[in-house]
Amino acid sequence: QLQLQESGPRLVKPSETLSLTCTVSGDSISSSSYYWGWIRQSPGKGLEWIGSKYYSGRTYFNPSLMSRVTISLDPSNNQFSLKLSSVTAADTAIYYCAKQEAIAARIFDFWGQGTLVTVSS
Amino acid sequence: DIQMTQSPPSLSASVGDRVTITCRASQDIRNSLAWYQQRPGQAPKVLIFDASTLQSGVPSRFSGSGSGTDFTLTISSLQPEDAATYYCQKYNTGLFTFGPGTKVDLK
């Protein structure tokens, strides 16, 4: 069974870079069948897709965040990561990593449990 | 960019009721639409993809319909465990936008 687990600092200072890692077990992130994505949810709000990356390197980004987002794959550790630069309080959210189907319906079918990241000095 | 809207923003219904949630895209997305359920404190779970295909393991009381710009999620007989927020998501292009959500409460 595929499992994903987010990890990283829970508190980030304004203007700094938020960094999260998602560790995948049960399948390879080098698979040609999947994207690997990040979605966030501000407290009490809806889901906001951040970006998705394919094993080949092709990456899709939410245009509203694109200038601040980097998504990387680390096949040697079966992990992928998110970096969000120049954070403000508006970036306080639960951050989810997820596996996304790449062949047909590009749905997010496996999710991590999510990790709350707070931006505060 | 294609915008996704949902209605109603919230609803309250009784166990056994038929519940219908609507999702609208600002442009034609064919049938490239999924529905997710998010229970309080949990990660979202996909219910339906390709507008009307039930994801494996999802109860048959959930169904989806529509194509183009207008889509519907129906719960044929609401159960207590269906109290959740429901989101639509488009995937016709590389912008995987979610709708704003519909919160379903039990009366």
Q: Summarize pLDDT for A55-88 with one digit per residue, the tens.
A: 999 999 999 999 999 999 999 999 999 999 999 9
Kindly give the parts of chain B with pLDDT less than 70: none
Kindly give the parts of chain A with pLDDT less than 50: none
Q: What pLDDT was estimated at residue A104?
A: 86
Q: What pLDDT was estimated at residue B82?
A: 98
DSSP structural state of residue B99: P
Distance (Å, whole) CA B43 – CA A98:
10
Distances (CA, A) of B83 to A42, B14, B79: 20, 10, 8
Are B89 and A107 in contact (CB < 8 Å)? yes
- Judged by a CB distance cut-off of 8 A, whether residue A60 touches chain B is yes
- Judged by a CB distance cut-off of 8 A, whether residue A96 touches chain B is yes
Closest among B8, B10, B82 to B40, alpha carbons compared:
B82
Distance (Å, whole) CA B7 – CA B24:
9
Distance separating the N- and C-terminal Cα atoms of chain A: 39
**Residue to substitute from B5, B21, B67, B91, interface A, most A β-carbons within 10 A:** B91
Reduced to 3 states (helix: H, G, I; strand: E, B; else coil), residue B56 is coil
CB-CB neighbors (< 8 A) of B85 in chain A: 46
- H-helix or E-strand spanning residue B61: none
pLDDT tens-digit series, residues B40-55 = 999 999 999 999 999 9
Reduced to 3 states (helix: H, G, I; strand: E, B; else coil), residue A79 is strand
